[in-house]
A and B are shown apart, each in its own frame.
Chain A
């Protein structure tokens, strides 16, 4: 089956060997270590052993990793090297790891330096802003040729300030001349909001002068800590701004120079991560003074090999056993290369538990067919295959991304087949360009011309899908020894539902269907109430169970989305084509045609592939899985070397 069978391994070894054994297990990377926390808290055991772990060390490593991470992020901003999408991890030899870890000192200096530079740049930036603000406030006073810090002479007061532009400045000037002759009123400049004025008055007329100013909305300006004229100060600030800019540039240059160490920092990051993981796993172990114990699951095929390998190298007690009946073990799916791309669909819902079959092989042919049917354009299918194929070949992505891209590749193939069957090649592009003279005939039929036919086929596909789900449930029941349940709950439903379907078809089949449906209904009424004790209740729940036929119907109707989404692609494509040929077949027209079809195709493929994926998954989750699937399996997460930036070259396995 497609769930990998697991062996349980328990290992008791000497505390002195612990570090080496853990290291080796990590390198092997196949053991999913179970937490023995429960055992340490068990009364029977708790006097003899305690939980292992070194949280402080983990904490220390974590904060170091965090520090390097921010340094890496900071440096990457200045990294001038070309970045590649889906860049593969750099392969690094184990000797390089050792080298880096031994010369950590230099890298830590670098990290500190980056941190300092980061702060310095932030400081400079805030100073720069301050200077620019000061210049902006001083600018209107540029033409004032007396020092800003001059606020009085022996017998006069010197006042600087602004008057809002709503006031008539000339009138004010005149009033000063008339009412306070012992003064000097000078407008230095005006802008749209206010006027900038200098007022000098004799101390004896202070009251009058201030009253006059106040009446005209005067607000005084004070330039604290500034010596010299405004112009001098502006020059000073501008020189400082230049300095700051130069300084910042110099620091940035230094940082760019350090970007060369980015590789080393990344290796250190991964090295510390491995170290941290190795310490972190200890919390799942238990120990006494001298010995430690660990327990875990690993694939059946690796079990004996790993056990032997460890036992040969160190003195320890190893026990290997198969899971007991009904015991849950971590789930790893392994399918052939055609089914594997569809594993994410199962994984995203929930992994199967260890007592049931992996649903992926069952759902993948349906997903394949439904996806293609919902996109349904041969040219789009080819484009999808080319695009995903190129990414797969060129970048060789791993894991999840790899599976998704392969799924889209297969989906593209299905799309191509359905497109050819429906006669969709970029929708009706050929017909649109030739103005109806030519068209690519469908191999089967055109759903735009006969939607009812496709609707019925959608229901038939749906019924097959649902029957398959019910068959898997029957298989599960039979495996558990409940053969009668399988016959009553699945077999009789098959009879009843098939009868109903034939009845709809009419003719001779309809007559057969009538008898089948009646027989099925009677059998269901007789058996569905079997869990009830009272005979009347038995009959009643039997009759009530026929109501389930309604929910089966609504499940089947849900497959009408296959038609709706299939039509959507074709119709959107013909909208695009109709716009594309609007401008005729001169040079400009053809150019517009190419651009419109290109952009439209990208949009149409994207929106429909997303729709097909979403609704394809939904049909599996809601309609298919509800017939048989339990899920709730715990994913198999082996204790292994997990790195972010680099890949360890030397990875000996057993």
Chain B
């Protein structure tokens, strides 16, 4: 097998898709959670009792990374790398998996950061009006919708691929 043929291997492409879902969405979540964490730490310096509330906000942009892992896992199950016997995929099938992983990877990355920005502002709400946590969470959850939709898109696509 020549080296470039390796890149046309179906199993490699499917794994690349799974890896992208974990990496890209995970990077977004990591950045997002860090952003909210920094803002939250500022508030907690002033008022340690805000810890629980701000932690809740910090957790919100973390879900995209989980969605990425979830998608990867569904791909791995589908191609038999987890629980079952590995299937041989042709190039087209591999590309289908790669394509199906893109929604959760790309939308996951940007929605995590968008959600983090909203949550950072939400930390500001909690700092001044602790009673309004639910509203801060709701604003951030609005952004999450698109990550959920992307996850749904990816999973439905993966379920639909015939192997």
- Identify the A interface with B (CB < 8 A): 344, 348-349, 432, 451-452, 455, 558, 560-561, 563-565, 567-568, 571-572, 574-575, 578, 607, 610-611, 614-615, 617-618, 621-622
Contact = CB atoms under 8 A, between A and B. Distances in A.
Given A563-B152, A618-B142, A349 B134 contact: yes
A332 to B, nearest CB: 17
Contacts of A349: 134-135, 138
Given A451-B156, A617-B134, A575 B69 contact: yes
Name B's interface SS: helix
Contacts of A575: 69, 73
A615 B145 CA distance: 9
10 tightest CB-CB pairs across the interface, nearest first?
A: A348-B134, A564-B152, A561-B148, A564-B148, A618-B141, A614-B141, A571-B70, A564-B151, A560-B152, A575-B73
21 contacts: A348-B133, A348-B135, A349-B138, A432-B83, A451-B155, A560-B148, A560-B152, A561-B148, A564-B151, A564-B155, A567-B70, A571-B70, A572-B69, A574-B73, A575-B73, A607-B59, A607-B62, A610-B59, A614-B60, A617-B138, A622-B138
Interface string B140-163: 011011001101100110010000
B64 to A, nearest CB: 12
Contacts of A614: 60, 137-138, 141, 144
B67 interface: yes
B78 to A, nearest CB: 11
Contacts, number: 74
A214 B149 CA distance: 74
B152 A578 contact: no
A455 B159 CA distance: 13
Given A561-B148, A618-B145, 17 more contacts: A348-B133, A348-B134, A561-B152, A564-B148, A564-B155, A571-B70, A571-B73, A572-B66, A572-B70, A607-B59, A610-B56, A610-B59, A614-B60, A614-B137, A615-B148, A618-B138, A622-B138
Given A558-B145, A575-B73, A578-B82, A611 B63 contact: yes
A26 B151 CA distance: 55
Contact of A565 (B62, B69, B133, B148): B148
B19 to A, nearest CB: 16
Interface in B29-76: 56, 59-60, 62-63, 66-67, 69-70, 73-74
B108 to A, nearest CB: 12
A295 B66 CA distance: 55
Given A571-B74, A578-B82, A561 B145 contact: yes
- Most chain-A CB neighbours within 10 Å: which of B60, B145, B148, B159? B148
Contacts of A607: 59, 62-63, 66
